[in-house]
Amino acid sequence: MATPALFKPLSLRSLEVQHRGWVSPMCQYSCDPVAAPGVPHDWHLMHLGSFAAGGAALILTEAAAVNAAGRISPRDAGLYNDEQAAGWERIVSFVHRHGVADTKIGAQLAHAGRKASTYWPFSGEKGSVPVSDGGWGTVGPGTAAFDGFAPPAAMTDEDIRAVIADFTASAVRAVDAGFDTIEVHGAHGYLLHQFQSPLVNDRTDTWGGDAAGRNRLTLAVVDAIRNVIPDSMPLLLRISATDWAEGGIGIEDSVHLASQAAEHGVDLIDVSSGGAVAHQRIQPGPGYQTGFAARIRRETGIATGTVGLLTSPGQAEHVVATGQADGVFIARAALRDPHWWLRAAFELGHDMRWAPQYERAVPRHAF
C-alpha cells in the first residue's frame, strides 16, 4: 500500500520531519507564578512527552514569553532566563529520547502585548490581573485596551527595539536548549499581531501607518532571530490570516506578509486566524482555516501548516493529499487522545512504530 500523504516526510532546511501530523501550541497556564515564574516543570514534560510517545512528528511548545511582561498570565511559560531554559532543555531531551516518530520539538516565542497580565482560564476570574494580585502593566502599539482588559502603555521606539532584542535572546536560549526549530508567534491578537492589524495599530511613525509599517515589527523580529540561529534551523511564523472584522487584516494582507516573511528567511507559515479584537465574527466549521493556508501556499510557494477543527485522520489526510497545506497541526483532538497519530496511522493503513512498552496494545482489527 502506498504511504498516505499524511505520513510522508517533510524537509525544512536540514530538519527532516518524519510525517505531516504535528502538535499545535497549547498554553497550559501551569507554571508556579511565585516559586518559579515562567519555568516549565513536570506537567509540561508529561503533557508534551505524551504526544512524543503518541507518534507526533513535530511538537510546538506553548507560547514561551520573551520577557516577564510578555506572559499572557502570571502562570505562563517563558524563555527569558536560565532557570526557564533549563526546564525546557529537560523537556526537549525527553521528547528526543522517547518520540516514536523521531519527534522534533520547536519553541514558540511570544509576547502578549496588551493581552498580557490576564487571569488564566480556570482561575475563576476574568480580565486583567491587578498588580496587587501578581499582575503588571502592559504595553501595545497604542493605549487602546482589548475589551475588558486594562489599557496598555504605548510603546516607544526604544521599547520596540528592546522587545526585538528580547526575541533574539530567547531564540539563542532555544538553540542552546536543543530545540529543533523556532516559531515566532505573530497571531491571535498578541503583540506582533497587534502591530499588524489596522484595528489595533493607529501609529503614524515607522512602526505603523501603511501595511509596510504595520508589518515592520514582525519582519524585524524574524530578521533578528534568523541572524542568531543556525542557517540549517528552520524558522516558522504563526499568523492570523484574517481578523474576522471589517477594516481588519484579510487574506490578501496575509498573502503579502507571508511572501515577505519567506524573503526574510521564514520556512513555514502556521496559519490560524482571529484574536485581534473582541468584536470579531468567526465562522467556525471543520477545517475552516484551511482555505487560508491553501491560498498562501498556492500564491507564495512557501510551506504552510493548517489548524482548526481538524479532528479525524481522514480530514488530515485529505488536506495534505490535495495540497491544501504541507502539515496539519492538531490541538484539542490531541488533548482528547495523546496517541492521535498512532490511531491515524492505523486508520490510514500505515505501519508506524510504537514504543516497545506499548507494543502489546498494537491494534489488529480496531483501534
Write out the catalytic residue numbers: 190
Instruction: Count Cα atoms within 13 angstroms, Cβ side, for 241.
Output: 24
Helices (H), the chain: 42-53, 82-98, 157-176, 191-196, 211-228, 251-263, 290-300, 313-321, 332-336, 340-347
Strands 139-140 and 153-154: parallel
- CA-based nearest residue to 243, from 206, 305, 314, 292: 292
Count of all residues that appear for the chain in the document: 367
Q: Which residues pair with 99 in a beta bridge?
A: none
Cα–Cα distance, 177 to 163 (Å, whole number): 21
In DSSP terms, 105 is beta-bridged to 59
Environment class of 286 (CB within 10 Å of its CB; exposed 0-12, middle 13-18, buried 19+): exposed
Q: Which of 309, 347, 345 lies closest to 328 in space, CA to CA? A: 309
Please tell me the distance from the alpha carbon of residue 272 to that of residue 233, in angstroms, as a whole number: 23
Name the 3-class secondary structure at 20.
Answer: coil
Joined grid coordinates for residue 197: 492589524
> What burial class does residue 131 get, using C-beta atoms within 10 Å of its C-beta: 0-12 exposed, 13-18 middle, 19+ buried?
exposed
Which residues share a beta bridge with 63?
Answer: 108
Q: Where does residue 55 fall: left (phi above 0), alpha (psi -120 to 50 degrees), or beta otherwise?
A: left
